[in-house]
Amino acid sequence: MDPNLERLIAAASRSVEEARRAAYRDATRIGLLVEQISVLADLRQKEGDFRKAESLYREALQRALEPRKPDAELLTGILSLIAHLYDRWGRMDQAAEHYQKALDVAVRGGVADSDKVATIKNNLAMIFKQLRDYAKAEQYYNEALDLFLLSDGSHSARVASVYNNLGVLYYTNLDVENAQKMHEHALSIRQNLANDATDQADLSQTYINLSAVYKASGDFQKAETCVEHAKKIRAGMNGYHPQPRRAASLLMDKSL
């Protein structure tokens, strides 16, 4: 194991034990315990130990259910973390099941219009795409897009990511015309974001996706131009590679 990761796991394990003792003495500290458990579970995933991560998330879920009136936002978050774990584990059916449970809890708890729900819908759409249920994938992407447009406006990195994901979905389903529209929307937004809000890796990926779409439509000159833009961006990243996104964060589809 990477020595640095080993140190992080050891420190997180100590934090979890301390949080367990605090929550045993004071039930109002359960939220902190759940947070510490989630940190350790995320590290276990990085280690590749999905079973330990699953056990930790299950503990977090059980503790979050202990109060007489559980926190709906907290439960939604834990269920989405479990879903993301199953996604990384390759258990697509279980991932879809737990994302759906997270949405159900959010609706019952009155947090159905939150950013967290928009993220879950985007990620659930990716699962349905992998399961080849393209109609459900399109439905959830559009619902996620509507929520992000409502919360962020029409020009945000999250809106661009959902447009990108719709573009990949349409391309997969051989709808090149709509794929082009979605990727051009994503590119327009990403080109106009402030520097500190622009993920260069995502911008590069947008050009790569557009290149594939233009090539499929027979516009080879535009396809080549997009490839050149992507190469320049990646050359300017100086070997930087973005860290894996944390569980339950907004996922961007790069499967073109």
Supply the CATH classification number for the domain 154-256: 1.25.40.10
pLDDT for position 255: 66
Give tens-digit pLDDT for 201-210: 899 999 999 9
Residue 155 and residue 152: Cα distance in Å, rounded?
A: 7
Residues with Cβ within 8 Å of residue 138, at least 6 apart in sequence: 125, 166, 169
Residues with Cβ within 8 Å of residue 75, at least 6 apart in sequence: 61, 64, 65, 102, 105, 109
Give tens-digit pLDDT for 140-159: 999 999 999 999 999 899 99
pTM value is: 0.83
The domains of the chain are located at: 1-70, 80-140, 154-256
What average pLDDT does this structure show over 244-254? 59
Q: Is it true that 80-140 and 154-256 share their CATH fold?
A: yes
How does the average pLDDT of the chain come out, rounded?
Answer: 89
Supply the CATH classification number for the domain 80-140: 1.25.40
